[in-house]
Structure 1
Amino acid sequence: MSDVLALDPAAQDLLFREARTANAFTDEPVSDEQVQAIYDLVKYAPTSMNQQPLRIVLVRSAEARERLVAHMADGNKEKTAKAPLVAILAADHEFHEELPRLFPHFPQAKDLFFGERPVREGSSSFNAALQVGYFIIGVRAAGLAAGPMTGYDAAGINKEFFADGDHSVLAVVNIGRPAENAWFPRGPRLEYDEVVTSV
């Protein structure tokens, strides 16, 4: 079915069919320029009312890496310690402060829809999760591998890196060139008929 898609087969393989979650990386560094190119591509992810609540913390210093690793699940500690770059992807629950600029044709949106913190938290977490998916695809588009993880102490990471209480971690992503034997065996995927119905 790949011939019915606009994206050429090589790009389909790079972004989807051959892409895997990496668990080991070479020591080749990931530059700020690479990360900026990734962001400049994935910033076009769709979000409700263009709210764009994703915030990215690049963990580059040894001190910050040690602080992060302390909050990772045991199975994720070593690979997070050794990855060339680690990004903490979080939802900004105060995203509505940017709405007058990001959604200018509806200036009332900031107060009308997002005055209550629980509403903002739900909306920011969902929409930032959409952006997380795009971020992972962007890493693949850069020819790198992503190792997204949710095995961590979220409360610990939030306290350590987002002490203001206005952000919540959604994923921690290791980024780099995959090392040899970086992959677990690919898990099965549900087939079309198991997922899609028509009404």
Structure 2
Amino acid sequence: MTQSFHPPLSDAALDQLFREARTVHAFKPEPVSDETIARLYDLLKWGPTAFNAQPARYVFVRSPEAKAKLRPTLSAGNVAQTDAAAVTVIVAQDTRFYEHLPEQFPAYNAKPLFEANADLAASTAFRNSSLQGAYLILAARALGLDAGAQSGFNPQAVNDAFFPDGRYQVNFIVNLGVADHSGTHPRGPRLAFEDVAQIV
């Protein structure tokens, strides 16, 4: 085994994060507390990003009123699972994330790099908010929650409903809660290492 600076996680932890974890489409009626949501963010915020930028913004949709506002933006096949989830996270990106870079990345001022290049800012915001959304899923699993990410929604409708000033833009949505495995689909296959990777 290759020497590591840190001991590997236990098989049980790896199962919880990856091997036994599933994308969930049905949830039990068990709540997710404010404290758990705060712990979730306190974990995911440490995931690495370019320039230590934090472009992701999160709306934790939990109240009946907020769920009602989200519902019309969803694809028909995603309504029931989103209604059942204890909380639905809208993972968005801040189009002006670079305004925070002088504090987040004090090594040098990277803010002008993005201010002067709208395409670079947009691609950086999208790539890194996607990473942060993935960290959210892993943090949720680490805390014992189940997650179901989805892209079946109308982005403009979500933006109009939750981000009307235009600064934030939805990336994707994640349902969180406790899985009702009676609604869990059989696991789909994954590609083998030799199909997708090479060591050079």
Instruction: Confirm or deny a common fold (TM above 0.5).
Output: yes
Q: Which residue of 1 aligns with 2:60?
A: 58
Q: CA deviation at 1:148?
A: 0.7
Give per-residue Cα distances to partners, 1:51-100, cap 9 Å, x unaligned.
Answer: 11111001122122111110100100111112111110111111011111
Total equivalences in the alignment: 196
Residue 94 to residue 113, structure 1, CA distance change in 2 (3 Å): closer
Q: Does 1:28 align with 2:8?
A: no
Q: Which residue of 1 aligns with 2:91?
A: 89
1-structure distance, mates of 2:184, 2:135: 21
- Give yes or no for contact 1:90–1:171 (8 Å, CA) kept in 2: yes
Q: CA deviation at 1:144?
A: 0.7
SS of residue in 1 equivalent to 2:26: coil
Identity rate, percent = 42
Kindly provide the amino acid, as one letter, of the partner of residue 63 in structure 2: S
> What TM-score, normalized by structure 2, do the two folds share?
0.93
Which consecutive unaligned segments of at least 5 residues does structure 2 have?
none
Q: Which moved more, 1:69-78 or 1:113-122?
A: 113-122
Q: Does 1:162 align with 2:163?
A: yes
SS of residue in 1 equivalent to 2:182: coil
Instruction: Map 1:9-20 onto structure 2 (within 5 A).
Output: 9-20=11-22
Q: Which residue of 1 aligns with 2:118?
A: 117
- Give yes or no for contact 1:84–1:176 (8 Å, CA) kept in 2: yes
Q: CA deviation at 1:102?
A: 0.2
Q: CA deviation at 1:195?
A: 1.1
Kindly provide the amino acid, as one letter, of the partner of residue 122 in structure 2: E
2-structure distance, mates of 1:111, 1:183: 47
Kindly provide the amino acid, as one letter, of the partner of residue 149 in structure 2: P
- Give yes or no for contact 2:98–2:114 (8 Å, CA) kept in 1: no
2-structure distance, mates of 1:114, 1:184: 45
Which consecutive unaligned segments of at least 5 residues does structure 1 have?
none
Kindly provide the amino acid, as one letter, of the partner of residue 31 in structure 2: P
Over 2 Å off, 4+ runs: 112-119
Which residue of 7, 10, 26 maps to 1:8? Answer: 10
SS of residue in 1 equivalent to 2:185: coil
2-structure distance, mates of 1:196, 1:189: 13
> What TM-score, normalized by structure 1, do the two folds share?
0.94
Kindly provide the amino acid, as one letter, of the partner of residue 142 in structure 2: A
Q: CA deviation at 1:171?
A: 1.2
2-structure distance, mates of 1:113, 1:79: 38
Q: Which residue of 1 aligns with 2:150?
A: 149
Q: Which moved more, 1:110-119 or 1:10-19?
A: 110-119
Kindly provide the amino acid, as one letter, of the partner of residue 104 in structure 1: P
SS of residue in 2 equivalent to 1:187: coil
Q: CA RMSD for the aligned pairs?
A: 1.5
Q: Which residue of 2 aligns with 1:198?
A: 199
Q: CA deviation at 1:140?
A: 0.4
